[in-house]
Structure 1
Amino acid sequence: MAGSDNSRTLPSITRRNLLSTAAASISASNVPLAGSTSPPLQEGNHSDPVLPLWEKWFTTHKHCGELCRQQQRLETRLFEIVRDLTDDERDEAWNAADEALGYSRACQAEAELMNEEQSLVKALWNTPARSLVGIIAKLHSVVECEDPGDTLKITPWPELRSILTDLVQLNDRGRTI
């Protein structure tokens, strides 16, 4: 475009980076581009109610993943501690190691956060979007939460990932529907 201040190169979206690229696109949509005359999406009375819900859900979703990985590390450590013990020694050693490592506390924290995440994503899915980026946010959360991954390439997942890719590219180019 002649005279355009927006000369950034859009990254190629792949199956591997789709979800992180979509999240970055949603987050960046609230920051005006250099030279843009468009206000941020959440400014004033024209805000999309989906966006604050998505931000809260996405933060909780990432924290839930971190707690899951922490719990898995603690569980691995527990099994390493009791692996070579006899059955009689194992229960007592497990309980002592659990108390010392905080495994049960980590499991409880993860379960509580997973419940919060489920409540947030249901609220997000039930809130009408008012913008393209709101639609992207809702679709991103569905794919992030429900996509069975590469092992199942059955309908509708490849199609939903393709639609999400198209929407992210439209959003990143500054187009509107």
Structure 2
Amino acid sequence: MADSENSRTLPAITRREENFENGATEKLPQVIDRRNLLPVAARWLSGRFDATRDQQRPSGPTPVREMWPRWYACHLQHVRATRLRQKLETKLLEVTGGAPIVELRIGTEQIVPVHSFADINRLSSELNAEQLSQARVELRRRRKRWREADQRLECAAAITREQELAHQAGIAGRVMRITAPSSLTEVTAKLHCLIAMQDPGLKLDVAPWPELRRLLRDLIRMEERVAETWDSNSSREAC
């Protein structure tokens, strides 16, 4: 599907984080496509749920309108953590010259990459003692350089943080998706969560993903028209 597809315990998210200064009054863009579908949906949902934040609700299970902002805050943290981890991994490879791997020549043509001392031991029948010793020394040296660079850049910590946030966002998203919605806006929020977690790049072209993206867009458009009609009628009644 082309880009012209137009048929298409955590803190609650704050407007500052996603630049939601206009809240619910922000107008939808004329075109909603792959490039802006998820951020547009997030801004729109944030505005709608902000408008109902202070409303009292009966006792019972937490509604989707309260779950979505918390899930989305965690989701954004996970996205940022992923970008940081990718940046640090790239830097780590630049600093060390590559992953801690040693390439061994077997015979005249075969090059075998080894990642561990166990790999070297498995090649003992095809290498002489000097080659084995040099391979172990080189692997040890590269591992030491990798560990030292990793400690400086804190790449391992970034990986751990990314995994923790992915776990938290996954649990929050699954709980929200099995929670019964009480409005079309909550249905829209559940669909946004599903697409953001399963197709974040909006690249899946096998059914039902193109149809689900169009459905998310249609729900937003439909609810926006309903809200505009309601506001228009309320204004006339006030006059």
TM-score by length of 2: 0.62
Q: Is 2:222 the partner of 1:170? A: yes
Q: Which residue of 1 aligns with 2:115?
A: none
AA in 1 matched with 2:83: R
Tell me the number of residue pairs that the alignment of Structure 1 and Structure 2 aligns: 163
> What is the CA-CA distance between 1:167 and the residue it aligns to?
0.3
- Residues 78 and 165, structure 2, Cα contact 8 Å, conserved in 1: yes
* CA pair 112-134 structure 1, distance change in 2 beyond 3 A: same
**Over aligned residue pairs, what C-alpha RMSD do you find?**
2.5
Q: Which residue of 2 aligns with 1:37?
A: none
Matches within 5 A, 1:33-112: 40=52, 43-45=55-57, 49-83=63-97, 87-112=139-164
The structure with the larger Rg is 2
CA–CA separation in structure 2 for the residues paired with 1:132 and 1:94: 51
TM-score by length of 1: 0.82
Q: Which residue of 1 aligns with 2:168?
A: 116
Deviation string, structure 1 residues 117-136 (Cα, Å, up to 9, x no partner): 11100111111111111000
Structure with a larger share of its residues in strand: 2
* CA pair 57-8 structure 1, distance change in 2 beyond 3 A: closer
Name which structure has the greater RCO, CA cutoff 8 Å, separation 6+: 1
* CA pair 134-150 structure 1, distance change in 2 beyond 3 A: closer
Listed as ranges, the gaps of 5+ residues in structure 2 are 1-24, 101-137, 230-239
- Residues 30 and 42, structure 1, Cα contact 8 Å, conserved in 2: no
- Residues 49 and 65, structure 2, Cα contact 8 Å, conserved in 1: no
Q: Is 2:46 the partner of 1:16? A: no
* CA pair 42-51 structure 1, distance change in 2 beyond 3 A: farther
* CA pair 58-148 structure 1, distance change in 2 beyond 3 A: closer
Deviation string, structure 1 residues 69-112 (Cα, Å, up to 9, x no partner): 11111111111111179644311111111111111111111111
Structure 1 vs Structure 2: percent identity of aligned residues? 34
